[in-house]
A and B are shown apart, each in its own frame.
Chain A
Amino acid sequence: MIARTLHIARRESIEIARQPILLAVVLTLIVGIALLGGASLFVLDRLVSVQGFGNSLEIFGPAYGLHGAEGFAAFTRLVVHAVNFLVFTQFLGVSAVLAGHTMLHEREVHALPFLLLAPIRRTELVLGKVLGALAIPGAVYAAVVVVLGLFLHTLPIMAPVSDLIPPSGGWLAAFAIAGPLWALVVCTLCSIASAIAPDVRTAQQLVWLVVTGITLTVCYALTVLVGAGAWPELALAVAGAIAFAISLAIASATLGRDLAR
């Protein structure tokens, strides 16, 4: 099963890799947002040395009963949360859009009957396509967060908020365990959208529904719980694993043997 699933995923990834414009957009979105986040924190770090800048953040701190360094750390914390949220959202959003085109693509090139004739299980087909859609954005995301994490560790302002960036336990549980599981859920749902949509426009709207409804909720939950440590994130991971099993079963049932369905 694994060999056939990876065989399908590989073909999906090759096709994505051979579309330069698509690839450029994927890279721009994930790398661009990460660069923006890194640059924001870098600028903030430099501004700390500017006389009186730290005090200007008192506007933010007192609202939470925080003053001086505490207020500044709270502000930095908010920025890091935003960076974690935005970078992961891009990865998930880009993957969702790619997954939302997988079955449509098969219909566009009229290859679906040949896949359904082959001795492969529907689960293998869906999972292969989902993994194929996730492979390139996932690799880019992984590379970006490693580089960004290493860079952020060099910034003195990050010391009080190191629990929010890799390799903290909360971050790893959120974005290395729960995140990928929820990415599988989102991409499987989008592949269902791709299978049931009669045309590209409908598929796009369904994918947008998934992105808005699930992706943003998941990213928000993963982000806000990072500081709470690994356990809440692991609970989210378990929920993600269950949701993935359910969505995969639905996807396999949706892609019935009867082409008219």
Chain B
Amino acid sequence: MESLPVEPQSLVVCRGLGRSFGGTAVLSALDFTLEAGKVLGVVGPNGGGKSTLLLLLAGLLRPTLGSVEIAGIPAHHVATARRGSVGLITADHGVYPLLTGRENLVYFGGLYGLAPEAVLARARPLLDELDLERALDARVAHYSSGMRQKLSLVRATFLDPILLLLDEPTANLDPLSSRSIHHAVRQQADRGRAVVLVTHDLDAAAALCDRVLFLDGKALSWETFTTPRADPALSPLHAIYEQVVRR
């Protein structure tokens, strides 16, 4: 499997990015860049285009305006054999309930040409870290939401992607599960991956992100943290959110 070249700067470049559905613009005139090792938080009201932005970054939607490039290649033009450089996590998990956790990982790894042993060898460190190894032979139908999301995180990372896209990864999770997911996400960034985190959890955004984009169809505001993982209690995000989204 061929990987996308890792650039030290501006791994993701969006220029005038826009997307419409049936003539209705959901996202317009969005410009931003994201560097490796950084976490970009995307917050905003429902229907503000956050998930659409993530799908555009994944190359699963084509822009109707502008462009989005991942390591210099248009996201929707990344050749079939070069995919695998983008890891995706959604709130709906996207795992097969009738398969075991192990079978799920082996299945998705197999789609990338990985042998079962290679998949499990790559996944083991994070499985241990997330305490999921013991449940690996149980069917996913018997997993809690938190366990499914952890499995989804393992799937998104064992291919060693350069960009991680997370769509509300802790939605409906208890505080402990959320914390362990957040911790793992920050670790992924510290290992040099660029992360885009779509969330409604402003405290999590303040704690995890280097930069936060307030989005409601278009970029409303940016907040950059000079010190990532700031104390959520001191975070200005709630006040900014009220201010820009209600404007």
Chain A contact residues, CB within 8 Å of chain B: 4, 7-8, 11, 14-15, 18-19, 109-121, 257-260
Contact = CB atoms under 8 A, between A and B. Distances in A.
Given A109-B96, A110-B90, 13 more contacts: A11-B99, A111-B96, A112-B94, A113-B58, A113-B60, A117-B59, A117-B86, A117-B88, A118-B84, A119-B80, A119-B111, A260-B21, A260-B61
Contact of B155 (A11, A109, A114): A114
Contacts of A4: 110-111, 113
Q: 9 closest A-B pairs (Cβ-Cβ)?
A: A110-B92, A118-B111, A110-B94, A111-B94, A7-B110, A18-B98, A119-B83, A15-B98, A259-B60
Contact of B84 (A7, A119, A260): A119
Contacts of B103: 11, 14
A15 B96 contact: yes
30 contacts: A4-B110, A7-B107, A8-B111, A11-B107, A14-B99, A14-B103, A18-B98, A109-B94, A109-B96, A109-B97, A110-B92, A112-B94, A113-B90, A114-B88, A114-B155, A116-B60, A117-B58, A118-B83, A118-B84, A118-B108, A118-B111, A119-B82, A119-B112, A119-B113, A120-B80, A121-B80, A257-B60, A258-B76, A259-B55, A259-B61
Interface in B89-141: 90, 92-99, 103, 107-108, 110-113
A115 B93 CA distance: 13
Given A114-B108, A114-B155, A19 B90 contact: no
Nearest to B26: A260
Contacts of B21: 260
A111 B83 contact: no
Nearest to A257: B76
Contacts of B90: 110, 113
Contacts of B76: 257-258
A121 to B, nearest CB: 6
A119 B99 contact: no
Interface residues of B, number: 33
Contacts of A14: 98-99, 103
A124 to B, nearest CB: 9
Contacts of A7: 107, 110-111
A18 B99 CA distance: 9
B62 interface: yes
Interface centre among A7, A19, A115 (most CB of B within 10 A): A7
Interface string B43-78: 000000000000100111110000000000000100
B17 to A, nearest CB: 15
A74 B31 CA distance: 78
B233 interface: no
Contacts of B95: 109, 111
B1 interface: yes
A75 to B, nearest CB: 47
A221 B21 CA distance: 45
Nearest to B90: A110
B239 interface: no
A251 to B, nearest CB: 17
B122 to A, nearest CB: 15
B166 to A, nearest CB: 13
B111 A120 contact: yes
Contacts of B88: 113-114, 117
B81 interface: yes
B151 to A, nearest CB: 12
Contacts of B59: 117, 257
Q: Which among A18, A112, A121 has the highest number of chain B CB atoms within 10 Å?
A: A18
A249 B107 CA distance: 25
Contact of A113 (B94, B97, B110): B94
A119 B80 CA distance: 5
A171 B117 CA distance: 45
Contacts of B55: 113, 259
Contacts of B82: 119
A120 B109 CA distance: 12
